[in-house]
Structure formats: structure tokens, C-alpha cells
Structure 1
């Protein structure tokens, strides 16, 4: 049996606030950099470091890696959700879509009225514009315009998480085969990512209902938030992650 520690670190505050920042690549503010320094100053010796490719995560991860002699592994699966047409826009605008003409349904040109067209016009044809409120209430049903579906988002995060657990299981099996090794080196892994990614991993670990919205509405991961997960690998090669408070 072996034990590994995984530290999920959300990036710090950004140079631009009040926007929905998914794939929009915005750097950390000075405050955000300091938040990450404070969050990681008491970590044990890190053996592996993974990061989202977005600069608000990658820049600090690479600095941390240089300071501690680590090769940072960058994974696209750790990116924040792609919010499509909403990405990078202010929350004020998104909560008031009438302020954003480009997100309004396109009006059809006037056509010559015929009995057939009149009957068609009598039918409700205008689709309801998906709003940010719709998405927050049920992200599994409503997709950001030209953005990522919740299914696609969770599948890629699942891919990273399952591969990470598989690597820990493999390392445990290799250590068991090396009988001459008197003591096992504990894995301490740092993952620098985003709020949406971290909340979803927590939902998996805590067994929250999925599909569901509990992890989105009931779990708050602040800027610079550090979440400690411990993974026990049993003698049968099973991984048992749990949240450490």
C-alpha cells in the first residue's frame, strides 16, 4: 500500500476583473502572483507538477518548477471551460444580453406575404436565447453559444484524472516489484488549474451527483485556493482518493 498527495491549486487574481474568463488568456495580477506564492510556501517537497497551458496557471507553474528543479508537464485537459461567445466578456453584459447585440438572434428579412408564409409566421419560430443564468442553473442542458458542452468538458478532465490515478497505481506496482528498496518515496503532486476543473475533480472525489450542479453552486474555490487530496493505493492496485481538510 502507498499514499500519494495531490495538491490542486487554482490560479490567482487576474489583471482584469469582472469578466467570464474561460479560454481567454489573461495574466495574473501582482496580487494573484502573491496569492500563489503564499499558497505554496508550506508545501512538502513536490515530485511532479502539472499545469493548464493558459498563462494564468502556466507562468507560475514554470516559475515554481524552476525554483524546485521540476519539469512542469502542461496538459490541455486542465484548461478552463471554453465559454465560446461569452468568453472574455463582462458579467454585467452577460447578465443583460440586450447590451450585447451580437448575441441576439438575427432578424429575418421581410418576405412577400402569401397564405403559406402567413401560416408559417403564425407558428412560434423564434428560439429563446441561451443566457448565462440558463447555463448556471443547468449546464448539462444549456451550452454557451459556440462554446464547449459540459459533456466535452467533463470527459477531458476525466481523461487527465484517470491517467493520473493510473500513473500512481503503476508506480506502486513498480515499487512492490523492487524488493531491495527499503523505503518508498511518497508522491507529492502539484496541479495548477482553474476553478471549474478543480470543482469537477472534487465532485468526483466526494461522490456528488453527476450530471448535476451541486459542485458548481456549493463549492467555492477562491483565487489561490489550495485543495489537498490524498490517494491511497491498496495492495490490489485500486486508487482511493479522499479530501483532506
Structure 2
């Protein structure tokens, strides 16, 4: 049986707060950079670093890979959820224009996609297809620097949580979630090891 451990690290604070960040490419703030430096201040056995193309993830991922002599790769499926026409706009501005549509999205995102945005089904398909690709690789302990939407998708699949409840999963900036997968030739057993912690144990426990 093969075991795969994925350490999912949400990016640090960015220079833009209070917006639908989504695919809007906002850099880390100085605080965010320091948050990420603390989070990855020690290596815990990662074999490779994979990261979202957006600079708020790429910036830190490339640094940590260089710091510990690891290979790294930009991976498209780790990109954040696309809020479509809302992306890059402030939460208050969008709500003032479309309060009923915003409420419907947060109440039941699977059936109320933002205008021009990515459906939850499409998000699940790309993220879970990407995860399944890792299950077929030879590495067994990876660091994935990514976003809240991607991490929630992976947690929700592991625990079978309906999208309407995803917003109840707290994910702070520069915090880790660890997922483990036990695989044989016919089945996969997923396990949520830890969620939303500032530091991980030194070994892949």
C-alpha cells in the first residue's frame, strides 16, 4: 500500500483586503511575506513544492524550494476559484449591487455561480483531477502552496461535506492543512490529519 501526504499551505495576507480575490493576481503584503517565512521556517521532509500560478503563492513557494534545495513546479489546478464578474471588486460594492445573488451564492454555491464565474462542479473537477494525478506519482510527501477554495475542496471531498457548508471551514493565512491518502490498486482511503495549524510536526505523523 502506498501512502501520500499532502501539506496544504494557504498563502499569506495580500495587499488587497475586502475584495473577491479569486484569480485577481495580488501580491503578498509585508505582513504576508513574514507570515509565510514563519510557516516554512523549517523543512519537515517535503520532496517537492507545487504551487498556484498566482503570485501570492508562487512568491513564497519558489523561495522555500530554493531554501531547502527542493524541486518546484507551477500547477494550474492549484489556482483559486474564479469569481467571474465579481473578481477583484470589493465585497461591499458587489453586495450593494446584487444582494440577493450574493446571498444565494454563499447560501448554496453549488447552484448559484457568480456571473461569469467558475461553477463549483468545475472547481471540484479540476482540483480532484489534479489530486488524483498526484496519487499516481512516486513522491509521498509534498508541499502545496495554494488558496482557501482549493483547500476547502480537498477537505470537503475527504469528509464528504456539502458545498453549502464549505464556508464553515476556517482557513487562516499561512496556515497548514495535512491530508493523507492510503492507496492500493483498487481503493483510496483519505484522512484529514490536521486542519488550519500554524506549524506542522517535524515528521509526517
**Where on the TM-score scale, by shorter chain, does this alignment land: which range?**
0.7 to 0.9
Unaligned runs of 5+ in 1: 99-128, 172-185
Which of structures 1 and 2 has the bigger CA Rg?
1
Question: 2:4–2:135: 8 Å Cα contact kept in structure 1?
Answer: no
Deviations 1:88-143 (A, max 9, x none): 11111122117xxxxxxxxxxxxxxxxxxxxxxxxxxxxxx862221111111112
Is residue 156 of structure 1 aligned with residue 106 of structure 2? no
Is residue 189 of structure 1 aligned with residue 148 of structure 2? no
Question: 1:130–1:142: 8 Å Cα contact kept in structure 2?
Answer: no
Cα shift at 1:237: 5.7
- Number of aligned residue pairs: give it: 194
Residue matched to 1:111: none
Is residue 92 of structure 1 aligned with residue 62 of structure 2? no
CA gap of 1:71–1:144, structure 2 versus 1, over 3 A, is same
1:231 paired residue among 176, 181, 189: 181
Tell me the TM-score normalised to structure 2 length: 0.87
Residue matched to 2:203: none
SS in 2 for 1:213: helix
Residue matched to 1:69: 69
Tell me the TM-score normalised to structure 1 length: 0.74
Shift >4 Å, 4+ stretches: none
Unaligned runs of 5+ in 2: 195-205
Residue matched to 1:241: 190
Distance 2:76 2:45 in 1: 25
Question: 1:44–1:188: 8 Å Cα contact kept in structure 2?
Answer: no
Cα RMSD for the two superposed structures: 1.9
Residue matched to 2:199: none
